[in-house]
Amino acid sequence: MVFFWTDSNETHGQFSQLYLAPDGKIYAANYQGFTKALHVINSPDSADSACGFVKWGLSIPSNDARIIPNMLHFRMGALTGSGCDTLNTDIGHQTQDERRIQVYPNPANDVVQVDLMNYSQYHPLQQFYLYNAQGQLVKQVALPYLSAAFRVSDLPSGVYYWQLAVGAEVRGAGKLEVVR
């Protein structure tokens, strides 16, 4: 299928492949190729010019933009009845603010750093909880400041789940892998 567009300067163009990416934008491949860019629709739910169409809005390293690069999306969640449900966790989708909670290195083998420098919901009474795969609490770290470090060298290898909470209010969650 080929799609056509016309801009305010009466310039015409064609694109053949559309991709809704994890960032909520639609990327469009140039029908004829021979360019190092994809077209971008910034607000696909908006009508007409409010959709924010940008001709050649995303530069790519290839000189043939007829094919959309494979953009993996790992935060899809479970697909009921699918054998691919193994990517799902009970953590849910993270908000933009939750992604600002940095827990590194991941995977870790000795010391883990929790960095809240870009986190806007900071509270001096927040706690960092680390749970094993069975849901048992294995570490609890007070975070009265914007960063803290704690050891995981005493934990066996495996996947652990963390939560950042103030009292009963969970403000962030994620996974941490411990390796030996």
Q: Are 49 and 110 in a shared domain? A: no
Q: Mind listing the pLDDT tens digit for each residue in 116-128?
A: 876 667 777 889 9
Q: Mind listing the pLDDT tens digit for each residue in 95-111?
A: 444 557 889 999 999 99
Q: Are 104 and 151 in a shared domain? A: yes
Q: Which amino acid is at 50?
A: A
H or E segment and range at residue 171: strand 169-178
Chosen domain end from 59, 74, 89 = 59
Q: Establish if 71 belongs to a structural domain.
A: no
Q: Establish if 92 belongs to a structural domain.
A: no
Q: Mind listing the pLDDT tens digit for each residue in 131-171?
A: 998 899 999 999 888 888 999 999 999 999 999 988 888 88
Q: Does residue 52 or residue 80 have the better pLDDT?
A: 52
**Residue 90: its pLDDT value, please?**
46
Q: Establish if 23 belongs to a structural domain.
A: yes
Q: Establish if 67 belongs to a structural domain.
A: no
Q: Is the pTM of this model over 0.85?
A: no
Could you give the 3-state DSSP secondary structure of residue 100? helix
Q: Establish if 106 belongs to a structural domain.
A: yes
**40: Cβ–Cβ under 8 A, 6 or more apart, which residues?**
25, 26, 27, 28, 52, 53, 54, 57, 58
Q: Establish if 93 belongs to a structural domain.
A: no
Residue 52: give the domain boundaries: 3-59
> Quick one: which of 50, 31, 28, 30 has its CA closest to 40?
28
Q: What CATH number should be reported for the domain holding residue 106?
A: 2.60.40.10
- Side-chain half-sphere exposure of 50, counting CA atoms within 13 A: 3
Q: How far is residue 39's CA from residue 6's CA, in Å, rounded to a whole number? A: 13
Could you give the 3-state DSSP secondary structure of residue 118? coil
Q: Are 48 and 108 in a shared domain? A: no
> Quick one: which of 104, 106, 101, 113 has its CA closest to 166?
101
110: left (phi over 0), alpha (psi -120 to 50) or beta: alpha
Contact 101, 126 (CB under 8 A): no
Number of folded domains in the chain?
2
Q: Establish if 80 belongs to a structural domain.
A: no
